[in-house]
Structure 1
Amino acid sequence: MADDRHIDPRSPVQRDKFSFLKVAFVGVLALIALVTVKHSWFDTFTAPQDTPAPTEPAGPSQQPARQTPPASDGGAQPAQGNLTALFSAADYPADAFRNDEQGTVMARLEIDPQGKVSSCRVATSSGSESLDRATCTILKRRARFTPARNSEGSAIASSYTQKITWMLQ
């Protein structure tokens, strides 16, 4: 007589094997999901905040800048903008991510009378060329300001300094 063994999934021994395999499979999937989420969502940087133009170069800081309006000159109103929503985790430069580069960039923006960024230069480097370049690229493409106004109320060109902290978590 031939060995006619078959697997009965209803038997307690087989159910235990299937349960173990299910738990192991779910565990592996959870681990993969955790690693994926870690790399795509949590490796981010501190969102930028509006800052006034500094009187002297500021050094890198791990604290986000406070939102403080720049001081105005003789009745003129400075340019105003909210740059906190311009950056996302997807903007972190791939080579900076691979090399674990982090830092704070102080970017000096020139704003035209229409409120667009006409130029950007790095006033204080983060120490990473990739992060510095990405900061100016994003600010030039996405930043829009309420233009500065002179004492007569006409829109005028102005300058604005923005601190951006790129941080891997």
Structure 2
Amino acid sequence: MTTEPYAIRLAVPEDIPAALQMKLTAWEEAYADQRPASFFANARAALEQQADWWTRGLAQGAELWIATNPAGDIVGIAGGGPAADDDADTGIGVELQLLYVLAGDHGTGLGARLLEAVLGDRAAVLWVLERNPRAHAFYAKHGFVADGRVEALADDWSGLNEIRMVRHGAHRG
């Protein structure tokens, strides 16, 4: 399947509520076997507060890329920014902070297009849930390698671990 039906652009504040709804749906699709139903209910209850935070972020220069289908529905999102201080040991200054595509749009090339929009061919670091083999394979295809760093998550994500993946140079997937 080709990606021509999708439009990718920078989000504007009016996109934030729908982008957050889409992200939550993607979480439910990807993590339903790793989080209880209450996790998703709590996340849904916090959407308005998150929308305010994300809108302020856009106003301060954060970039969020969205992908829409021909009906105008948001079916993918991605964003990045400066790498966290904890990742200074990588020597990489850019972090892919989020990338989600709805399950019905997996395998279309849309994730690769969103990754390209955020990072281009720059070196980057990212963190991904340890028990997310689909994401691991996707990122590996695009030049990322797990570097052995694992961190236990806390709060709502307690009981899960993230692994760090890095891409040290230009790569075209």
User: TM over 0.5, yes or no?
Assistant: no
Q: TM-score of the superposition, structure 2-length normalised?
A: 0.26
Higher helix share: 2
Structure with max Cα Rg: 1
Q: Comparing both structures, which one devotes a greater share of its residues to strand?
A: 2
